Amino acid sequence: MREYNFYEVEKKWQKIWEEEKILRAGDFPEKKFYVLVMFPYPSGDLHMGHCRNYVIGDVIARKKKMEGYDVLHPFGWDSFGLPAENAAIRRKIHPREWTFKNIEESREDIKKMGILYDWDREIFTCKPDYYKWTQWLFLLLFKRKLAYRKKAFVNFCPSCKTVLANEQIAHGRCERCGKEVTKKELEQWFFKITDYAERLLKDLEKLEGKWPERVIEMQRNWIGKSEGVEIDFIFEENKDIKLKVFTTRADTIYGVTFLTISPENEIIKEIIKNSEYKNEVLRYIERSLKISEIERASILREKTGVFTGKYAIHPFTGEKLPIFVGDYVLAHYGTGIVMGVPGHDQRDFEFARKMNLKIKIVIKPFDSEIGEEIERAYEEYGIMINSGEFTGLDSKNGIEKVCEKLEKMGLGRKSISFRLRDWLISRQRYWGAPIPIIHCENCGIVPVNEKDLPVLLPEKVDYIPKGRSPLETNEEFMNTTCPKCKNKAKRDPDTMDTFVDS
Ligand SMILES: [Zn+2]
């Protein structure tokens, strides 16, 4: 292949500029332009996708240069993260060595493409002078209570022995190794992105006409706002325990014949405390947590569940509603508990059929009747029937009326639910920016002082995955003093997800 001689072309342009007196870069120092492209992972060789991507930025940078702008067009490497670590483990060489070898090769490829970057401004997210700022950003979010720690069921890849974000799972399998993803309960760090759900949604309006409508719609679905009602179902045995349910269809409340709790929900421990079905429920939960969420949510999968032996009370009729645990209910769907309305929700219908539960019809179509025996749930709006004082109402208006009554009883309130979840950012892996937190027996969770940044990633660590953080094996790294009380304390052994770096 004949190499494209970029310097020859550049010389030709220089001549044209001089002869035609076209404006030159830097002619107007106050005209500044900043072009930033997405940095690549140096996880292997560059491919045509990279080429296509970086040419776009280059075209813009060159055009602006010709227009007399002082152009800043830097480049860098998103060089922490699982791809580098996995490749290093397979080849038994240090992730750093492997990463920088790839960077050298990729940099040469980009230079051959003739793309104009300010190479003296090249950055590496895996170098301390960069990840100091990744850690600084973490501390800022921590101080503003937007970074927090909690015990959570997390997606876990048994083969990579690491926690995965939802975005790192494809069809229930680990994006990296293809093994099926399961669940594990661990203390994790989160960024509280849900605080911004409403603003994210609102600002999508600003992108109309600029982004493809399809992409805006995908973003909207990802945020997944739904307006509805939160209803408290009181536990029969202990009036202090409320099973909170989120629904967009409060008009179907008279059709509730059971409740189903997701297997992850903590409330189950209280419900089954003295139940004769306790062991059966615990076995079911253990099995469920091994099944991927995608599979659990699949409409094609046969519904499964287990009776807890306990009941909740219907807020209007006082009827006893059996409480089940069922894995078709996902922990983060609304409150993780659903009111079973088999007459008007297809998944509840299938569950009720399987478990031989009552099916009540409480909504009928506007222009026809509906029989007692149905073949599938009637999910549309219509006229409320068999619904006490609400019978005869248009079901859309019924939602409002039912909510008013629940509010008066102190058993319900209007509520907004988002599909968007807080961002789980901690990883039990080596090749990432250490989380700048110290765990002290006296003071609890203490942030590292800003002046002590960066918290350096130690060079010598056994990074072969063992299901816990590799940094825990390095005592020199782990043992430190508490910034507050000066007593002996431990560092946080986790590193940050690579998306935090970029
Ligand atoms: Zn302390």
188 alpha carbon – ligand 1 mean position (Å): 21
pLDDT score at 28? 63
How many angstroms separate the CA atoms of 29 and 39, rounded? 27
483 alpha carbon – ligand 1 mean position (Å): 7
Question: What is each CA distance from 270 to 266, 275, 310, 333, 469, in whole angstroms?
Answer: 8, 10, 11, 21, 32
440 alpha carbon – ligand 1 mean position (Å): 5
pLDDT of residue 4 exceeding 60, the answer is: no
491 alpha carbon – ligand 1 mean position (Å): 12
How many angstroms separate the CA atoms of 381 and 365, rounded? 7
| Phi, psi dihedral angles at 308 (to 5 degrees) | -85, -10
Tokens 């099944």 found at: 291
pLDDT score at 25? 54
Percent of the chain with pLDDT over 70: 93
Amino acid at 19: E
479 alpha carbon – ligand 1 mean position (Å): 13
pLDDT score at 235? 97
151 alpha carbon – ligand 1 mean position (Å): 22
> Residue 166: exposed, middle, or buried by beta-carbon count in 10 A (0-12, 13-18, 19+)?
middle
Give the CA dihedral 105, 110, 111, 116, nearest 10 degrees. -150
> What is the average pLDDT score of the chain?
89
Q: Which residues surround ligand 1, an ion (CB under 5 A)?
A: 440, 442-443, 482, 484-485
Provide the pairing of β-strand 242-247 with 423-424: unpaired
2 alpha carbon – ligand 1 mean position (Å): 65
Considering just the CA atoms, what is the radius of gyration of the chain in Å? Answer: 29
484 alpha carbon – ligand 1 mean position (Å): 5
488 alpha carbon – ligand 1 mean position (Å): 8
Sign of the alpha-carbon dihedral angle for 331, 335, 337, 339: negative
Contact 138, 501 (CB under 8 A): no
Q: How many CA atoms lie within 13 A of 90 on its CB side?
A: 12
> Which DSSP string do the residues of 321-350 spell out, in sequence order?
EEEEE-TTS-TTSTTSEEEE-TTT-HHHHH
468 alpha carbon – ligand 1 mean position (Å): 24
Contact 233, 339 (CB under 8 A): yes
pLDDT score at 466? 66
pLDDT of residue 502 exceeding 90, the answer is: no
485 alpha carbon – ligand 1 mean position (Å): 4
Confidence at 1, pLDDT banded by 50, 70, 90: very low
Contact 73, 32 (CB under 8 A): no
445 alpha carbon – ligand 1 mean position (Å): 8
How many angstroms separate the CA atoms of 331 and 77, rounded? 36
Amino acid at 473: T
486 alpha carbon – ligand 1 mean position (Å): 6
482 alpha carbon – ligand 1 mean position (Å): 5
Q: Which residues pair with 424 in a beta bridge?
A: 190
438 alpha carbon – ligand 1 mean position (Å): 9
User: Tokens at residue 234, please?
Assistant: 């009181």
User: Tokens at residue 145, please?
Assistant: 């209570």
pLDDT score at 347? 93
Confidence at 295, pLDDT banded by 50, 70, 90: confident
How far is Cα of residue 486 from the mean position of the Cα atoms in its chain? 36
DSSP state of 239: T
